[in-house]
Amino acid sequence: MNRRVRVRFAPSPTGPLHIGGVRTALYNYLFAKQNGGDMLLRIEDTDSARFVPGAEDYIVEALNWLGITIDEGVGVKQPGKHAPYRQSERKAIYRKYVDQLLDAGLAYIAFDTPVDLEAKRAEIANFQYDAKTRGLMANSLTLPADEVKARIERGEQYVVRIKIEPNEEIKVQDLIRGEVVINSSVIDDKVLFKSSDELPTYHLANVVDDYLMEISHVIRGEEWLPSAPLHVLLYRYLGWTDVMPEFAHLPLLLKPDGNGKLSKRDGDRLGFPVFPMNWKDAKTAETSSGYREAGYFPEAVVNFLALLGWNSGTEQEIFSMQELIELFSLDRVSKSGAKFDYEKGKWFNHKYLQSKPLEEVADLFQHILIGKDIVEDSEKVKKIVELVRERANFITDLWEQSSFFFIAPTTYDEKTVRKRWKDETPEQMQELIQLLDGIEDFSVENTEEIVKEWIAAKGYNMGGIMNAFRLSIVGEGKGPHMFDIISLIGKQETTARLQKAIEILALN
RNA sequence: GGUCCAUUCGUCUAUCGGUUAGGACGCCAGGUUUUCAUCCUGGAAAGAGGGGUUCGACUCCCCUAUGGACUACCA
């Protein structure tokens, strides 16, 4: 079948979008764009009880930040011809299909309350609502028609369940896993619709919407694989087999340590973000950290995520979104779950930080400086960033690497002092002050030449002088080339810092 | 418990019957450097186990083990 590629990302607004969901969205997007198709965003809010305000906006903003653009649906100015794209707003649409199934005898009404079901589960081991047990329950298959009618009229709550015929091999063709076969006897008569809120459950809403929205490919997490046969059956029951989308079930993102699927809690526990952006929980007032606020570039997050479960088959590791769109393919998606390796994520960001235009990085750093009430000439900031960025993984690391350019040290790293500040040092530094004070041209080349000549002439030890010099200027034994530093902070600041170091360190 | 999916270095992965099993992150060592990083070079590090099929299996099949998902009037 040759039809337009249309995929959807269909999250449930029960909280912030988590990184696994982001990857699902990304793969959908890459697939759609590669095939010149459409990417839809549909909000699956059929569970009124779990709805979280703000979650939808969060999802839209996160996708936007990452550069995963939506062509149709929620978050788009002109949502599209299949509006609305929020399932809660599509109530009226689903009822029709529920009735169609009911009329055809492919679904039935069940009155069993959660309490009844609980009791049955306690009573019968491995209880499942299916062909074997539905005869024991209170439903339109066991109750006389007039009683069913009466109960409904009385306002009794009910659900509509799919009627699964037992003992049939249901085949699902999966683009990643090949053919998956399941016996219909192990599928239970899933609830399709609940009268309590007049809303369908995921299974029905999902199939109906995918059909109506002309979805060609369903690309979703592996957790859906077990219910895929049910969905196949639903397409059949509804008479839509010929336009059933193709399925691709993505491997899961697993915890970096131990076992299990990566969860929201792992972020706090292991100290790295599992969300694209910060999220403030309205109830607990807790904030979960996000990649954006942690200093990640969206390109790095996309690149990192793209390679968690997919590879190009080459040894290339750095890909732009455009390259990913060109190269992505579902048959190079791996089948097994991927443990989430945060260290590699850092490396990706490091790579992007190095390859970004200097102006862009400097501009981002300026914002951090402003936040610290530091006002500095942009040309100078650019030079500083140029000197220190290779040692940073994140924009936020830049401060730690360069703070001494802006603020003179007030304390001196103890270990470095012990190692680098000798008895003869104060006198040497005093001489250095004199020397520097006499230099007119404070350029890197000039100061370096003069100081080195002085060291040689005096017969001093190069390392001894330079390390003490560094300690005085930086406050510890780190940082870029000394002459680069002093040329940026200037003569006056340099000599002042030396003077101060001599005074303070003399007290030890 | 049941059903389904999966299984190559610690991690992400390449390999689509014949390779010294390759790359990347991380780790270790060396080099560069006035320091710390960066960077460069090198190194250690893998086919879960057992049966088949085959001239030949990481690769195909079966069993076992292990991991994971699902098993709600949640998605």
Which nucleotide lies at the shortest CA–C1' distance from A14?
B75
Q: Assess whether A260 (CB) lies less than 7 A from strand B.
A: yes
| Cβ atoms of residues A501 and A492 within 8 Å | no
Query: Which pLDDT does position A2 carry in this prediction?
Result: 77
Q: Assess whether A227 (CB) lies less than 7 A from strand B.
A: yes
Percent of chain A having pLDDT more than 90? Answer: 93
DSSP result, A315-328 = S-----HHHHHHH-
| Cβ atoms of residues A348 and A304 within 8 Å | yes
| Cβ atoms of residues A74 and A86 within 8 Å | yes
CA atoms within 13 A on the CB side of A167: 2
**pLDDT category, A268, cuts 50, 70, 90?**
confident
Bridge-based pairing state of the strands A169-174 and A178-183: antiparallel
Residues lying close to strand B (Cβ under 7 A), chosen from 91-150 of chain A, are 112-114, 117, 126, 128-129
Query: Which pLDDT does position A258 carry in this prediction?
Result: 67
Instruction: Record the tokens describing residue A395, joined without a space.
Output: 């924009």
Residue A476 CA to residue A508 CA, distance in Å, equals 16
Query: Which pLDDT does position A265 carry in this prediction?
Result: 84
Query: Which pLDDT does position A315 carry in this prediction?
Result: 94
Residue at token pair 């409904």: A152
Q: What is the mean pLDDT of chain A?
A: 95
Q: Which of A134, A132, A192 is nearest to A162 (CA)?
A: A192
Question: Would the pTM of this model clear 0.90, i.e. be above it?
Answer: yes
For residue A156, how many other CB atoms are within 10 A of its CB?
Answer: 13
**pLDDT category, A269, cuts 50, 70, 90?**
confident
Residue A398 has pLDDT above 60, yes or no: yes
Q: Assess whether A481 (CB) lies less than 7 A from strand B.
A: yes
**pLDDT category, A1, cuts 50, 70, 90?**
low
Residue-wise pLDDT tens digits, A465-503: 999 999 999 999 999 999 999 999 999 999 999 999 999
**Interatomic CA–C1' length for residue A211 and nucleotide B15, angstroms:** 39
Mean pLDDT across the stretch A376-395?
A: 95
Residue-wise pLDDT tens digits, A2-49: 799 999 999 999 999 999 999 999 999 999 999 999 999 999 999 989
Instruction: Record the tokens describing residue A390, joined without a space.
Output: 């290779």
A269 vs A62 pLDDT, higher one:
A62
Helix (H) or strand (E) segment spanning residue A460: none
Query: Which pLDDT does position A327 carry in this prediction?
Result: 97
Residues lying close to strand B (Cβ under 7 A), chosen from 2-21 of chain A, are 10-12, 14
Q: Among A225-229, A281-285, A363-367, A443-447, name the one with the lowest average pLDDT.
A: A281-285
Residue A436 has pLDDT above 90, yes or no: yes
Mean pLDDT across the stretch A74-102?
A: 96
Instruction: Record the tokens describing residue A24, joined without a space.
Output: 């699902």
| Cβ atoms of residues A238 and A211 within 8 Å | yes
Which nucleotide lies at the shortest CA–C1' distance from A45?
B75
Is A245 buried (19+), middle (13-18) or exposed (0-12) by CB count in 10 A?
A: buried
Q: Which of A106, A107, A109, A128 is nearest to A117 (CA)?
A: A128
Query: Which pLDDT does position A424 carry in this prediction?
Result: 92
Bridge-based pairing state of the strands A159-162 and A169-174: unpaired
Instruction: Report DSSP state, residue A409.
Output: -
Q: Assess whether A272 (CB) lies less than 7 A from strand B.
A: no
Query: Which pLDDT does position A264 carry in this prediction?
Result: 83
Mean pLDDT across the stretch A92-106?
A: 97
Mean pLDDT across the stretch A186-190?
A: 96
Q: What are phi and psi of A472, to 5 degrees?
A: -65, -40
Which residues of A carry out catalysis? 264
Residues lying close to strand B (Cβ under 7 A), chosen from 166-195 of chain A, are 177-178, 180-183, 186, 188, 191, 194-195
Residue A436 CA to residue A452 CA, distance in Å, equals 12
Residue A166 has pLDDT above 70, yes or no: yes
Terminal CA-to-CA distance of chain A, rounded, Å? 82
Query: Which pLDDT does position A355 carry in this prediction?
Result: 96
Nucleotides of B under 7 A from a protein CB: 1-8, 10-15, 22-26, 33-39, 67-75
**Interatomic CA–C1' length for residue A393 and nucleotide B59, angstroms:** 39
Query: Which pLDDT does position A388 carry in this prediction?
Result: 96
**pLDDT category, A278, cuts 50, 70, 90?**
very high
Q: Which of A227, A127, A229, A224 is nearest to A183 (CA)?
A: A229
Mean pLDDT across the stretch A114-124?
A: 93
Query: Which pLDDT does position A152 carry in this prediction?
Result: 96
**Interatomic CA–C1' length for residue A305 and nucleotide B14, angstroms:** 18
Q: Which residues of A185-207 are buried (b: 16+ CB within 10 A; e: fewer)?
A: eebbbbbbbbeeeebbbbbbbbb
Helix, strand, coil percent content, chain A, rounded in steps of 5: 50, 10, 40
Residue A286 CA to residue A442 CA, distance in Å, equals 51
**Interatomic CA–C1' length for residue A17 and nucleotide B7, angstroms:** 29
For residue A167, how many other CB atoms are within 10 A of its CB?
Answer: 8
